[in-house]
Structure 1
Amino acid sequence: MEHSENLNQWLPKHIRKLVAAKAALAEVPVLKEGFLNAHRPTGLYKTIGTDEDHSQRPDINATRLKEELTAHVHLNSQQICIGNGSTELIDLVIRTFCHAGKDRILGFQPSSARMAHFAQMQALELDLLELGHDFELPIYEVRKRISESTKMLFIENPNHITGSCFANFDIVDLVTSFDGIVVIDESAIDYSSDKSLVSILKDCSNLIIIQSFSRAWGLAGLPVGMAYASPEIIQVLNLLKPPFSVNTMAQKMAKKALYVADQKERIVTKTIQEREQVKAVLQKLPAVLEVFESETNTLLLRVEDADIMTEHLKKEELIHVLNVSALPGLENCIRISIGKGLDNMRLVKAFKDMPSKTAGPRLFWKAVSGTLRQASSFLGVFKKILGV
């Protein structure tokens, strides 16, 4: 089936009409708009580090930024849509492809609330499957839950709450077998040991991958998001996205960031090292019951009492903590963000200062358990030597 035929099959009728109308307008030459403010306050621009003229509208297509991105993601500019952060692009994709009262989105929990928020804003039916024991994709359950009304499959990879990554072969299996739109939110992919799935776009006309400059690139205050997909999908998204949503400064800073991509890689490496150092300390503390594996710049912890721990950390002015214990399977869990060295030291100290209700008994049984594991290991080696 041709891409255009697939696209018409997936797009709601009112969106197809809107795209046709927008496309017709796009063929008409657009006159350059006048200045919104012709008087240029030079001093203001100097205070933000530039003396350039910002009296005109931003480039609606972010043309120069796209040109720089093509070399980094090995796609052409017709496969890139630039938005005001990944959040705007998630909203745009849902509004573009899903019809209220008719279509369903299949997602997973625990996960961030962004997709669910926009689905509810569109009055869409939301089908959320719980992740497996180790936060793996429930492939069998997904296949059972997909129905004719399931228009979109939404996957966070890495997961923004748990910090875990799904196996790429599981994701590819779902993308290639699902007859609908698959959206993969890769906003935190730079921290992952797994590679982005951008490379499979050429073989998957139903796939949209969303990334962001907000996390590893450090531009959360100047949000820039990227949607990668087939040229046919990107054409539709570019026609429907809000105009001028990505300001000139954000576009220029994102482009500048690409020039120093090696610095970003060093920052990511440093963050991962600090994450593992914090993890090694926290998992030895009485107040921490469990530290989960992470592929992001956050750590998910299970503690004795998430409410008390959250309040304790906030008193220490450690604002990078999120109580996620209300989410399925995450009873008494909190998520912490990894900061710079001093921030992490303060975080660890705050955990150490938190008294444990059951520290004595738990530490005793933890020591006993460790001793038994060592004894079992030695016994296994001894049996091998004896040939038993």
Structure 2
Amino acid sequence: MFNLDSIVRKNIKDLKPYSSARDEYSGEAQVWIDANENPFDTGVNRYPDPHQYDLKKMVGSIKGVSPSCLFIGNGSDEIIDLLFRMVCQPGTSNAIVLPPTYGMYAVAAQINDVEVRKVFLTSSFEVDVSAVLRAIDANTRLIFICSPNNPTGTLVQSSTIEQIATSFGGIVVVDEAYADFVQQGGGAVELLARNPNIYVLQTLSKAWGLAGARIGIGVASPEIQRYMAKIKAPYNISSLNQQVAINSLEDMEGFKMKVELIMEERERLQKALSSFSCVVTVYPSDANFLLVKFKKVEEVFLHLKQNGIVARDRSGEKWCDGCVRITVGTPDENTYLLEVLNMYKKL
């Protein structure tokens, strides 16, 4: 049975959060002399909204959740770090990750002096639920599930996530950075009503094209989010980034058009790459990238670099021997990639 108060660190529960000037007064005024700001207007001489009310309202409307269930982070990486700080006791707690997967989960654990327990995916990139449950002990506080997974592109079924969540007394973090590229299914947000120990990570970096703005989104129960709000930096999202995000979210038609094009191009690349003799496997993907296994990966990787193409070599990861992760680019970029690989085939 999940009991949030039983796993939140005592020092976090006892923490009196920093109260900023904008926490103590958020109404309208003619003269602002409460925050030691520069009075001359530069467009950003005032501190930003520390709670991102306008941005949360827009995100909540799009995601179909209450703003009280949202947390906005300086990228998902900030949210990951705060989750460790909230429930993991340094030197005592442990967290479970499912490699091959996003490397920041383990990095954040090590920064916070938290043991990392690796439960590898199966050779077909599926979650071994029994192995995950066996790895849990009394000090396990977090389990990270990336869906669609990076670098494999594979989607974790909701039933698998829920099976783990219902058997675990800690928090199951479901990283859905690539959820907008999934053709069907509502994702883990739909599981929150039944599973208060699920924390969903999403982002505006991928499908929304705002990687440089660093807008991570956490979706969870209001109870969890209240603790997250206590421990975050007072002004963790700048005014500029909040406004860029709001402007982008207003262009829903543009968003849908770009996502649809990326998914069409993903299918085109999947089919084309599968026809090359230098390719062993193009793995199915629900993300904006493809994991491709080559016969001579070092040669192919060098050939791409020599022709101005930078991909990501993932051959050092478990089950990914000989694999390169290829992000779906623009139609012209994808065409050039295929032309360069065709040149390699003829060498």
Coarse TM-score class (shorter-chain normalised): over 0.9
Separation of aligned partners in 2, 1:32 and 1:285:
65
Which fold has the larger relative contact order, with Cα–Cα distance below 8 Å and residues 6 or more apart in sequence?
Answer: 2
Corresponding residue for residue 378 of structure 1: none
Separation of aligned partners in 1, 2:19 and 2:234:
17
1:96-135 CA distance string (max 9 Å, x none): 1111111110110101111111001112111111112321
Detail structure 1 runs of 4+ shifted over 6 Å in the superposition: 23-28
One-letter code of the match for 2:10? K
5+ residue gaps in structure 2?
A: 26-32
Separation of aligned partners in 1, 2:34 and 2:296:
59
Corresponding residue for residue 106 of structure 1: 96
Matches within 5 A, 1:25-104: 29=24, 32-35=34-37, 37-40=38-41, 53-104=43-94
Taking structure 1 as the reference length, the TM-score comes to 0.83
Given that 1:302 and 1:334 are in contact with CA atoms closer than 8 Å, whether structure 2 keeps it comes out as: yes
Aligned partner of 1:236 among 222, 227, 240: 227
Aligned partner of 1:157 among 147, 158, 163: 147
- Displacement after TM superposition at 1:355 (Å): 3.9
Given that 1:10 and 1:181 are in contact with CA atoms closer than 8 Å, whether structure 2 keeps it comes out as: no
Q: Does residue 199 of the first structure (1) align with residue 190 of the second (2)?
A: yes
Corresponding residue for residue 178 of structure 2: 188
Separation of aligned partners in 2, 1:326 and 1:270:
31
- Displacement after TM superposition at 1:199 (Å): 2.1
Q: Does residue 22 of the first structure (1) align with residue 12 of the second (2)?
A: no
- Displacement after TM superposition at 1:260 (Å): 1.8
Corresponding residue for residue 352 of structure 1: 342
Corresponding residue for residue 310 of structure 1: 301
Separation of aligned partners in 2, 1:221 and 1:148:
39
Residue range with higher mean Cα deviation, 234-243 or 301-310:
301-310
Matches within 5 A, 1:218-229: 218-229=209-220
CA RMSD of the aligned region, Å?
2.1
One-letter code of the match for 1:219? L
- Displacement after TM superposition at 1:28 (Å): 8.2
One-letter code of the match for 1:189? A
One-letter code of the match for 2:244? M
Given that 1:286 and 1:356 are in contact with CA atoms closer than 8 Å, whether structure 2 keeps it comes out as: no
Aligned partner of 2:203 among 203, 206, 212: 212
The number of equivalent residue pairs is: 339
Given that 2:276 and 2:345 are in contact with CA atoms closer than 8 Å, whether structure 1 keeps it comes out as: no
- Displacement after TM superposition at 1:39 (Å): 3.7
Identity of matched residues, %: 28
Separation of aligned partners in 1, 2:117 and 2:293:
26
- Displacement after TM superposition at 1:25 (Å): 8.9
- Displacement after TM superposition at 1:172 (Å): 1.3
Corresponding residue for residue 110 of structure 2: 120
One-letter code of the match for 2:141? K
Matches within 5 A, 1:228-377: 228-319=219-310, 321-355=311-345
- Displacement after TM superposition at 1:24 (Å): 8.7
- Displacement after TM superposition at 1:265 (Å): 1.6
Q: Does residue 133 of the first structure (1) align with residue 134 of the second (2)?
A: no
- Displacement after TM superposition at 1:307 (Å): 2.4
Secondary structure at the aligned position of 1:350 is classed as: helix
Separation of aligned partners in 2, 1:248 and 1:26:
15
Bigger CA radius of gyration: 1
Change (3 A) 1:40 1:104: same
Task: Considering fraction of residues, name the structure with more helix.
Answer: 1
Secondary structure at the aligned position of 2:344 is classed as: coil
Separation of aligned partners in 2, 1:24 and 1:196:
35
Secondary structure at the aligned position of 2:107 is classed as: helix
- Displacement after TM superposition at 1:208 (Å): 0.8
Change (3 A) 1:29 1:250: closer
Residue range with higher mean Cα deviation, 107-116 or 189-198:
189-198
1:217-268 CA distance string (max 9 Å, x none): 0111111111111111100101111221211121112122222223212211
Change (3 A) 1:204 1:32: farther
- Displacement after TM superposition at 1:26 (Å): 10
